[in-house]
Amino acid sequence: MPSNFLSKIFKIQAIINKTLMKSKDIDNAMHLFSSITNKSNYMYTVMFKGLITNNVAEKVLDLFDEMKIEPDQFTLSVLFNACAVLNNNRAMKTGKKLLAKMPENYRNNNITSTSAIDMLMKFGDVESAERIFRLMKTKNIITYGAMVKGYVGNEMFEKALNIFEKIDIELDDVTYTIVFNCCAKLCNDRAMKIGKYVLAKMPENYRNYIITSTSAIDMLMKFGDVESAERIFRSMKTKNIITYGAMVKGYVENEIFEKALDLFEKIDTELDHVTYTIVFNCCAKLCNDRAMKIGKKLLAKMPENYRNNNYIS
């Protein structure tokens, strides 16, 4: 293939990537993409990723329907991701068809098989996900994480803990977060034992990960271990509104309403709709002069667009 032709292709790819990822100009990116006559799997993969990032996964399937070449393992992974995001009848049909005709050697690719597992779990097809997992010769922490997360998403919390206990490789922050969420949902003796054990052995640097630490706080509050949740909250270097929300919600769930309002009054970041809901619930439960004053003041300053949210209103 002539070098000047390759150079032109790479330039078009770069423009498409920039148009999609930075400008979010989907129509222009689609037009540029359609102008390429010899599209490679790499080009499709770049385009598909950009469309998923821009929340138009349906367009991924539109382009796939026009695809004249067989997707390679990397393109397949992104197609599975698109089907998982969409999770509708078309996505299920496309995803399962792709999986059925996927070459056998692709099943040994961790990224491709893990994407397939995630997709099937989203579809609620747990048995097929388990079958792929069992057939995989090597599994990494992302694969285990997809299985645990899939079980949690399908409310099979005991199965999630069963597979978690078989993990013999180092956990990443995502897996810690998933396991904390699972233990919070299950909230029985086994979950409390595992959750506290995992938290105790979690590396110190993961405590600075807002999502992971917030999940740990939520879990501990569900266990009724308010002191441990407060200790993690105090140790966090940075906190966002989700972290504050988890603490306020935890106090409310444990019927420590005054502490919930104490912490709420210290929040110096913009509230989200979830935090508004939690604080209104707290004020309704407490229902004293302080709660009435805070609740009415909060209602008066609530953004107009939140008033259309059924959970808040």
> In the predicted model, what is the mean pLDDT of residues 260-288?
96
Asked if the structure places residue 35 within a domain, the reply is no
Residue 11 confidence (pLDDT):
65
Residue 57 confidence (pLDDT):
97
Asked if the structure places residue 205 within a domain, the reply is no
Q: 306 is written with which tokens?
A: 């939140």
How far is the C-alpha of 44 from the C-alpha of 67, rounded, in Å?
9
CA distances in angstroms from 137 to 166, 167, 179, listed in the order given: 15, 15, 24
Asked if the structure places residue 184 within a domain, the reply is no
> Residue 207: which of 177, 241, 250, 168 has the closest Cα?
177
Residue 16 pLDDT exceeds 90: no
Question: Over pLDDT 70: what percentage of the chain?
Answer: 93
> Residue 119: which of 99, 102, 140 has the closest Cα?
99
Residue 259 pLDDT exceeds 80: yes
How far is the C-alpha of 84 from the C-alpha of 81, rounded, in Å?
5
Confidence of residue 27 (pLDDT cuts 50, 70, 90): confident
| Residue 6: Cβ within 10 Å count | 10
Question: Over pLDDT 90: what percentage of the chain?
Answer: 82
39 versus 290: the higher-pLDDT residue is: 290
The phi, psi pair for 236, rounded to 5°, reads -70, 130
Asked if the structure places residue 50 within a domain, the reply is no
Residue 3 pLDDT exceeds 80: no
Q: 265 is written with which tokens?
A: 């009054």
Residue 200 pLDDT exceeds 80: yes
Residue bearing tokens 């078989």: 166
Residue bearing tokens 């005709």: 101
Asked if the structure places residue 280 within a domain, the reply is yes
In contact, 266 and 233? CB cutoff 8 Å: no
Q: 103 is written with which tokens?
A: 């070459």
How far is the C-alpha of 174 from the C-alpha of 183, rounded, in Å?
14
Residue 52: helix, strand or coil by DSSP? helix
Asked if the structure places residue 274 within a domain, the reply is yes
Residue 2 pLDDT exceeds 60: no
Residue 8 confidence (pLDDT):
55
Sign, CA dihedral 163-233-253-304, equals negative
Residue 1 confidence (pLDDT):
46
Asked if the structure places residue 269 within a domain, the reply is yes
Q: Can you give the residue range of the structural domain that contains 259?
A: 244-313
Asked if the structure places residue 260 within a domain, the reply is yes
Residue 152 confidence (pLDDT):
98
Number of domains making up the chain: 1
